[in-house]
Structure 1
């Protein structure tokens, strides 16, 4: 979808989708609100194609790219659901010990966009691992609505424990150099913020994209440098940033924060109309530079 076409869609449509995607609005209400825009001249086809994901658009690195190898790997999670599974992608054009990066999905399971992010990291020289929180229920079901509903039924504390276990599994990979970064989106951004609080040396660098912070009482444990990525139009998440930044400053945590102009929540996700190519590419360049600095 062109930038001009996205610009023609009113901002409230993106705001409604954010509420719907995060459980603050049911699908019936969401579609009814979109219908109110149809009544004043907008096309429902254009609105839904802009807001709902089309994962055919999200493959920047093919799964059979000659420079990478992708497999599914299981790991033990005794404090979580017992066992987890994730998508492991390793570079084939690198030798020796390599930095590792955990990739954390949104609140709907391991969808094709997040798997592609893992492949992009491997293409850039990192060993990447993207766990699927929905593995105990059979894994990502193939569409976001079902995935979102499934994840909502799960015990949040066990999901968090699964990601901690996945982090330790990846950090102990036979080709890991011991330096682990974490990048996540939306719910995944929250998980990155949370992982930074679990143990002061669990992660060596974190990049939360539009993620809310961990509880205030946990933040005192944060030591890892953070690269905070936010969209200017994401009012829901941005409201949490003022207090989080104050705590990071008081704790002496090294951090960088970027708020991308005119960008919505989810601006890095290239499968929906919220995608902002210029800001997404800038944010990704900064992410790779940050990981190269702190993980090599």
Structure 2
């Protein structure tokens, strides 16, 4: 996606949302309920925004929500775009580029993930400390736009240490047991095989999923501060010896939605 197309989308949205957002949010499968908490909402369908892809995954509403949450001006994606849907990496991260251009300097990114760490259980929330890009692709491949960020961005602290501390402190304050760990990104759309999950564990992953990493890479490229939260919706293949189903992802997300909303709202208040 060219810088020109990013600016076209930005200009379209600026006419409909007069205030610059402070915080951008990407809400994954079953986690879009957080956007329902936003006050004074302005909702814009992806299909109405110039140059935006369209979300095709069940559980994703496919819309941007502007407004106020916990006293902060926010812009939330109810549903994201995935590499496995057939979009290229630049299309996957396009909304992050646009949200940054609108003024958002902070990103809260959430996802539904499979638990690899055997100390986890479905329904756990995990603060992402680091990630492993096992898709062997990167949204920054190709021409670099210096107006967006440097050619070789540093990923040493992709997930803000300050934001991680805030998240852990917030969880403690509301008496919520929370995990932390490393998220591994694979392309999907197949769930991982038991052998692949063993490899993920061996390489240091605590959870696996099919999203998040491209968006985080592009956010870091633009100097955004990032906080990532995974909802462990199921244990990864081979751990419980049961078939995996997207229905379980949605059901688990629904079950823990109150905890998720409470945690994220209290975090946003402090960001």
TM-score normalised by length of structure 2: 0.30
Q: Quick check: which one's helix share is greater?
A: 1
Q: Quick check: which one's strand share is greater?
A: 2
Structure showing greater radius of gyration is: 1
TM-score normalised by length of structure 1: 0.28
Return the structure number with greater relative CO, CA threshold 8 A, min gap 6.
Answer: 2
